[in-house]
Amino acid sequence: MKIFNKEKLKEVDEFTIKEQNIKSEELMERAAVQLFGWLKTQLKEHQPKINLFCGIGNNGGDGLALARLLLNDGYEVEVYIVNFSDKRSDDFLLNLNRLKENKFWPEFINENSDLPELQQGEIVIDAIFGIGLNRPAEGWVKELIQHINQSKTYVISVDVPSGLYLDKAPDDKEVIIKAETTITFQLPKLVFFLPETAEFAGRVEIADIGLDQNFISNTAAEASLIQQPDAQRLYQSRTKFSHKGTFGHCLVAGGSYGKMGSVLLATKAALRAGAGKVSALIPKCGYQILQLGIPEAMVITAENEKHLTNTQTDFVPESICFGIGAGKEEGTKHYLEQLMKEHGSPMLIDADGINILAENKDLWKLLPEKSILTPHPGELRRLLGDWEDDFDKLEKAKRFSLEYKVILVIKGAYTITIADENLYVNSTGNPGMATAGSGDTLSGIISGLVSQGYDPGVAAVFGVYLHGKAGDLAAEKLGFEALIAEDIIQHLGKAYKSLFE
Ligand SMILES: NC(=O)C1=CN([C@@H]2O[C@H](COP(=O)(O)OP(=O)(O)OC[C@H]3O[C@@H](n4cnc5c(N)ncnc54)[C@H](O)[C@@H]3O)[C@@H](O)[C@H]2O)[C@H](O)CC1
Ligand SMILES: [K+]
């Protein structure tokens, strides 16, 4: 599903109005009908008091239209107009008049008003600012937002939590509504998935307001949210007459004394992802661990007992996964250098592989085109240096990815893959996956996909989705706490099958 920026959201709005020959107020009515339908379904027979806080733009207009639908259905409603400006939008005014025609007068609040009383168990609908926010809310509006956040009500934001910008980091986190649920129109917004701002949106629901699908399909977006239908399209089916050679030979090079389990996990994950053959290349001390731990894999040992050093293989792997548990010994660095020079095809580099790159910038030019780097935030910081905020981080990461023609998988609650200047935001995964070895399984899965002939960019996006989905399926059975990396591997088969459920 595409993620549009502010400008494109406005364009699709305008295009739809023209194409469907409707007035803009019709879109607002559709938005309100969707909000009303969602609320009614959630509330069932409950009738809590609903406090609507409406700004003076179209986000506020959505709130006023919703208030009318709620009142007509018999809900107890209080409407507060957050009267921060007299530049009211036309559709706001239209819906204000419609409310008045229904003999309902909202309460206008400004800097001289007392903060409204909000009781536990009540609902707050936040329709103060939508995508039109262009400067921080100040003074009494800030106080009001803080008052709402401190109340014990259930807060539902309309389109966007008020105070969040779509295209930049917030100036002041104290001036953002913290919603339990955000009902956003038609397309998800990038800020709902970034570490610094995701918490404000809470649970995100997408409401279809009938914006023009052709326009959406034909308009390029710099970001997309990868959900089941998107992942399904990436899947490559197998023919009956395939053999293990068809699915490639994956080489997992990594490990050091005390960290051999990581290679075991990545190797298993590559096999479960569907690689035809997997060889683990490890220092000598890991030989028995690997052979006993995963009989389906082959094992090659480097010269050194405890860390990786230059090693020749008698085959050319279709994919290489380098760096897991590898340490940063000089010999290991030389081996990475050798691999990058000799193996012209893309490699996946993770963990200490990334740390070695971070400490040796002269190696960057050797990165084979379309190689995949899978840093967690700490590794990314070592690689790119500090960033000011999430937007700055993404900009720096995009620049790095473009300059070295590599794919970056930025791991997190919503892992973001950067390939060809596009951002792919993953929708699967859960806090149970914040456990040792989880990243090793991801690297194994992606490498297993590359070895089967998936384009590295596709392998990264698809692998991240499958990894998260396997984790979700595991968590359904085990809960978050008990989930360990092995469980992710165990559920990979079900994750594949779920693509078609
Ligand atoms: N296609 C859609 O997605 C639809 C969206 N709808 C809703 O419309 C809003 C966007 O409305 P807009 O009028 O452009 O902006 P806002 O209501 O978000 O903006 C408020 C208003 O206030 C001014 N302003 C901005 N920041 C501040 C500030 N800090 N202090 C004071 N004033 C500020 C700004 O200039 C605006 O004029 C969208 O989110 C949806 O909820 C449609 O109803 C349906 C179609
Ligand atoms: K809002």
Name every residue whose Cβ is closer than 8 Å to that of residue 11 and which is 6 or more positions away in sequence: 215, 219
Ligand at shortest distance from the CA of 158: 2
Minimum mean pLDDT among 122-136, 238-252, 255-269: which range? 238-252
Model confidence, pTM:
0.95
Please state, in angstroms and rounded to a whole number, the distance separating the CA atoms of residues 118 and 77. 12
For ligand 1, pick from 159, 166, 168, 191 the residue to mutate: most ligand atoms within 8 Å of CB.
Answer: 159
* CATH class given for the domain over 253-498: alpha beta
Please state, in angstroms and rounded to a whole number, the distance separating the CA atoms of residues 340 and 379. 20
Tell me the CATH number for domain 2-221: 3.40.50.10260
pLDDT digits (tens, 9 = 90+) for 76-119: 999 999 999 999 999 999 999 999 999 999 999 999 999 999 99
User: Strand, helix or coil at 360?
Assistant: coil
Partners of residue 203 on adjacent β-strands:
181
Tell me, using a 6 A CB cutoff, whether residue 247 lines ligand 1: no
Place of tokens 């660095």: 333
Please state, in angstroms and rounded to a whole number, the distance separating the CA atoms of residues 4 and 2. 6
Ordered by start, the domain boundaries in the chain are 2-221, 253-498
pLDDT at residue 244 tops 80: no
Average pLDDT, the chain: 96
Tell me, using a 6 A CB cutoff, whether residue 493 lines ligand 1: no
Tell me, using a 6 A CB cutoff, whether residue 165 lines ligand 1: no
Tell me, using a 6 A CB cutoff, whether residue 210 lines ligand 1: no
For ligand 1, pick from 129, 156, 208 the residue to mutate: most ligand atoms within 8 Å of CB.
Answer: 129
pLDDT digits (tens, 9 = 90+) for 107-160: 999 999 999 999 999 999 999 999 999 999 989 999 999 999 999 999 999 999
Tell me, using a 6 A CB cutoff, whether residue 350 lines ligand 1: no
For residue 447, the CA-to-ligand 1 centroid distance in Å is 45
Please state, in angstroms and rounded to a whole number, the distance separating the CA atoms of residues 475 and 472. 5
